[in-house]
Amino acid sequence: MNRVYVIGHSMGGGGMWYFGTKYPEKFAAFAPQAAAGSGQVLKAHEQGTGIYIYHSSDDSVASCEGDRAAARHLRAVNADFVYSEWHDQDHGWPQEVIADAMIYFRRHHRMERGKDKPVPCRGTRPSFAEPLWPDEERYFPVPRPVNPRTEIADLQGEIELGGTVAGKAADRLLALKDKDAIPGLAAIVLDPKGRCDEARIEAARALGAVKDEVAAQVLIKALADPEYKVRIAAAEALGKAGSKTDSVALSSAILAFEKDFDLLAKPGWIRDETWAQLHALNAVLVEDLCRMGDPRCVGPILDICVRKILLTEVKSGSIYIDPEPARRASAIRIARALPMMKEPKLKSALGMMFVKLGKDLAVAKALAEAAGQF
């Protein structure tokens, strides 16, 4: 790619130093943040790859000495780099630094088309000032006339690419609502080893437009996917594609979800990203069951989704991140969903939620509004 930039903080910053110095020819610029420097930094300079380094001098997690040493090496050879050192951020990552790194990235353009191979170029230059290379054409395809005979297959091929191309293809399939798309989309959703997560998420989203039992069964299978973000996409799509007849299978998926939660919560703490995804998935599952309206699902909602998952307190895996906002956001969604089932027994969940989370004004308001709808 002409413009590929990477940025990472802490352990991600260590990854930037590793990959940026090992494969500098693949990046126009990279930005290690609050990491440990690299003894191979001149390899990136020799390739003409820009480097934006940030650290805070009072960092209590990763010493700034490694990054300072890397900056000294770069300065000695008059390299293209920025070293930004703050003095009061500990191991934090100021938004101002991120914004400044983005400005630095915009000034860098990796290569231009040469006579028989790519050649380095310098200075400001738009990415599309020259014809696209083959790898770029995959992600920035030239607009083509729509062929009704091949449109479904073409859109599925674009979904497999991931990224914004996949999102636009999924939007088109959502508009078409064509059942002929189900087999191809199912193959993408249910292939965690062969397809990227972005493609599987967009394929699941597109399946949500098809009100069909086959599509619903594919989405139910995806609720056991190893990636929680794919499960969330499948659950959200199931709310559109599924029906009351799917509620028993969905309840079984919740029982499996409970086992996953027990394993993750057993050590007493959960990674923050996983914690947020667990609660997002839990809220969507409750929304689906309440929308389907099957009273047989009251037990799983009360015992698993509310009492077990929502109301269990687990410590964050990071000292810098508060885990409670994700739980409160889930509580608000669940409170708004419960009245949809029109089942009086679910009103007891509101009381349990108020005891644990009612001190938050937004949660308390959502619970009060839900109580008024029973």
Residue 120 has pLDDT above 80, yes or no: no
Residue 118 has pLDDT above 60, yes or no: no
What is the average pLDDT across 22-51? 88
Express as a percent the part of the chain with pLDDT over 70. 88
Hey, where are the domains in the chain? 5-134, 243-374
pLDDT at 219: 94
Q: pLDDT tens-digit profile of 297-354?
A: 999 999 999 999 999 888 766 655 677 888 999 999 999 999 999 899 999 999 999 9
Output the six-digit token pair for 62: 């990763």
Distance of alpha carbon 68 from alpha carbon 286, whole angstroms: 51
pLDDT at 270: 77
Residue 19 pLDDT grade (very low, low, confident, very high; cuts 50, 70, 90): very high
The string of DSSP codes covering 12-61 is HHHHHHHHHHHSGGG-SEEEEESS---TTHHHHHHTT-EEEEEEETT-SS
Cα torsion 42, 1, 233, 310 to 10°: value is 20
Q: pLDDT tens-digit profile of 160-192?
A: 988 778 899 999 999 999 999 999 999 999 999
The string of DSSP codes covering 233-249 is HHHHHHHHH--GGGHHH
What is the average pLDDT across 211-216? 89
Residue 136 has pLDDT above 70, yes or no: no
* Coil/strand/helix, residue 113: strand
pLDDT at 211: 82
Top pLDDT among 85 and 315 is at 85
What's the CATH code, domain 5-134?
A: 3.40.50.1820
pLDDT at 163: 79
Residue 117 pLDDT grade (very low, low, confident, very high; cuts 50, 70, 90): low
Predicted TM-score (pTM) above 0.75: no
Task: Point out the least confidently predicted range of 106-110, 117-121, 235-239.
Answer: 117-121
Residue 116 has pLDDT above 80, yes or no: no
**Rg (Cα) of the chain, in Å, rounded?**
25
* Mean pLDDT over the full length of the chain: 88
Residue 276 has pLDDT above 80, yes or no: yes
Which residues lie closer than 8 Å to 299 by C-beta, 6 or more apart? none
